[in-house]
Amino acid sequence: MLPTHHPLSRRQFISTSTAVLGSYSHSLPGLSASPLPQRPNIRYGLTTGSWGMVTPPGKTLPLLRILDETAETGFDGIRLTGFPSLLKDNNLSIRQLDEELAKRSLSFSTISFGGFYRDKTKQKEILDNLRQVMEVHHYFGATSATFFPSSDVMHGESEREVYKDTFHFYRTMGKLALEEYGVRMGIHNLPGSLVSTQVQVDRFLQNTDPQYVFCAWDTAHLLLDGCKVLDVFKNSIDRTVYLDFEDATQSPSDKDFIAPNGRQFQGSSERGKFLNSSMDLGQGDVPYPEIMAILKKANYRGWIVPDLHSVRISATESWRIAMTYIRNHLDPVYQ
């Protein structure tokens, strides 16, 4: 049974105590200098992994710079990838991260989590790692989390057993997170995984426990993997706890993709095709206003992250484009 009360986390206490200081507004070229909208239901965040294409190869993602650019472009918070190594590489503790977020009026949203769940020899280690991640969520008062599905069925494996064992362990993780920490864990669909195509998404929804296993859809992957995006949202809205609004085009360029950090990917390669498909928010084929209408009807309350794998000019430019689209096209539908 879910505990009826969770002790107030330190982050919640800090946020409550400082609320009287007022809101923090940002202004960049192309964005209005007026105060940010006070959205009662939606919080927009970014993910540290999106800076991978602007950070020099072999270098650590610059977390403090990431926080600066997140705040400067009007977003509310950040999702951590590569935990705990990202903090260690930036010489930051959880307490210091808390302080850096507070300086910029930002919030922690979640930590990307994953593992090879069907390997029973790894499950204890996975649960130990999950507890560590959940402790961070509790510290910051976060109540939703994302986790990645493991890889698709491999040669020599029984498809039936793979899905049965994996879905059972999803429930084990979700039960731990919800009953011990008050956190709902949502699956983040990925290509080449057990939750990718429409058939796999339907299988996930039909065979996992809705009491403990939730959804954190990535819209680009839904679109590119042939899913009926709006139907997926309609059929799972009661289980949706976190969202990645990653835009994509179904008619990508065939030119080589060259990232701002100099990395180059052949346009004919699978990676190059995907990077050319990934688009700045509002510039692809995902029907976001229609999705927002579904969220509004269901009174969705939570995080939306404009994830982006293919920054083309700079991170700041991509986030400026995203926030302009949010204010002009998504806020009028639902905030």
Which ranges in the chain belong to alpha helices (H)? 10-18, 63-72, 85-89, 94-103, 123-140, 159-181, 198-207, 219-224, 229-236, 270-277, 288-297, 315-325
Q: By C-alpha distance, which of 325, 41, 328, 10 is closest to 142?
A: 10
Q: By C-alpha distance, which of 270, 153, 251, 181 is closest to 3?
A: 181
Can you give the residue ranges of every domain in the chain? 36-246+286-291+300-309
pLDDT of residue 294: 98
Stated pTM of the model:
0.89
Tokens of 26: 């940002």
pLDDT of residue 31: 41
The whole-angstrom separation of Cα 107 and Cα 94 is 13
For the residues of 124-138, what is the DSSP string, one character each? Answer: HHHHHHHHHHHHHHH
Over the chain (335 residues), the average pLDDT of each successive run of 10 is 39 36 33 59 97 93 97 97 96 98 98 95 97 98 96 95 97 98 98 97 98 98 98 98 98 95 95 96 98 98 96 95 98 97
The whole-angstrom separation of Cα 123 and Cα 152 is 18
Amino acid at 70: T
The whole-angstrom separation of Cα 180 and Cα 174 is 10
Question: Which top CATH class is 36-246+286-291+300-309?
Answer: alpha beta
Residue for token pair 């269901």: 298
